[in-house]
Each structure stands twice: as structure tokens, then as C-alpha cells.
Amino acid sequence: MIRYYCSGFEDTNAFGHGLVDMFKAELENTKSIVYIPGELEELDKSKEKYIPLFTNYFKNVGIEFDKINLITPDLSSEDAKNMIKTADFVMLMGGDPFKQKELCDNLGILEELKKYNGILLGFSAGAMLMSKYIIITPCSEEYPDFHIEKGLNLDGISIYPHNNTSSEIYPDTLVAGEETYQKEDLI
């Protein structure tokens, strides 16, 4: 499995900083891509805005997938698992990592993601779900408190991609289970 952890993307250049070159070097087939949303309340927005946007980003750099799939709550567990098993590329989209994890858990695909053998890209919430621990820092009205929960633990690291917490709220050191996080490290 090849994994990419990303905090987000620029609207004009989603695959900047050499990402596209890495995709092209690693991507052997382009038969299927699977998107896993992080915002279940905004599935229509994923379908109408983000998936076409990413499809164009891929197309503009010479990568076109034959089949584009979206994991949704109404799929059967078997269909969702088969989508992942047969995908060449899986993208865990941004949004709420806890809702994304809940969707995957409800469909029984968390283990499928752990053993997935293609390219896996996590943007924001997706990167946090791939982490050892999903760590939310108090950074907005939506996330006013710390919230730590186990992630997929694909590489034994934990990432919080949006560290915009004020220094008055965020401690210099955070202990979560057997891990210690230093604010200055940003991981």
C-alpha cells in the first residue's frame, strides 16, 4: 500500500508540490477510483462539486479513471468492500473524521481499508482517519474541545493537519495514551 497524508488542497493546484509525479510513478492502473466522504450531510456537494473537481484535477495531469465510485451510507457492506478491493486509488476526503470513521464502520470497511493494497490518499479528515489517533484540537465553534479517538493506525503516526489553535488553549505537551505530542512538532 502506498499512502499519502495531506492537510488539504489548493483550488487551483490540488496535486502541487510533486504529488502528481508520485501518483504517476506509483499508479499502475486507472480502472477505478473510490471516494470516501467526510461530510455525510453534504453528499450532494461531494457528488456535484468535489468529485467533478478532483476528476478534472486528475484529467488535467493526464490521469483518467475508467470508473468513479463514491462510498455512501445506502450501499451494502459487500458492495462497499468490493469497491475498495477493486480500486486502484482510494481517496478519503475531508470533512469530519469521526463521521467518516462512523460511515466506514457502519459499512464494515475499516478492515478493508487497513489491508487495501493500492494508493490511498487522505485529505484533512481522511489523513486523520489514517492516523494512529484522530486528534481534534479546539480550533473553531464546530470543534471547541479536544477529542481523541483511535484511527486506522496505518503507519503508527498521528497527524492533525489544521493546527490553528490559539496558544492559550493548546498545551505545549499533549499526552494521548502511550503517545506524547509536542505542539512545536505539529504531528
Render pLDDT for 130-176 as a digit per residue (tens, 0 to 9).
999 998 876 667 776 778 899 999 999 888 776 555 555 556 676 76
Set of cell numbers at residue 42:
453534504
Strand-pair partners of 127: none
- What three-state secondary structure class fits 4? strand
Q: Do the beta carbons of residue 25 and residue 75 sit within 8 Å?
A: no
The DSSP secondary-structure symbol of 176 reads E
Query: Whole-angstrom Cα distance, residue 69 to residue 34?
Result: 5
Please provide residue 50's backbone torsions phi and psi, each rounded to the nearest 5 degrees.
-75, -40
* C-alpha distances out from residue 154 to 132, 143, 146, Å: 7, 25, 22
Other Cβ atoms within 10 Å of 59 Cβ, number: 11
Q: How many residues are there in the chain?
A: 187
pLDDT digits (tens, 9 = 90+) for 69-102: 999 999 999 999 999 999 999 999 999 999 999 9
> Domains in the chain, ordered, with CATH?
2-185 (3.40.50.880)
The percentage of the chain sitting over the pLDDT mark of 90, rounded to a whole number, equals 59
Burial of 44 per CB tally in 10 Å (0-12, 13-18, 19+): exposed
Q: Do the beta carbons of residue 81 and residue 112 sit within 8 Å?
A: yes
Q: Which residues contact 99 (CB under 8 A, 6 or more apart)?
A: 38, 39, 40
Single-letter amino acid, residue 173 = T
User: pTM (2 decimals)?
Assistant: 0.85
Query: Whole-angstrom Cα distance, residue 78 to residue 153?
Result: 23
Q: Which pLDDT score, from 0 to 100, does residue 171 have?
A: 64
Query: Has residue 105 got a pLDDT over 80?
Result: yes
Q: What is the mean pLDDT of the chain?
A: 86
The DSSP secondary-structure symbol of 50 reads I
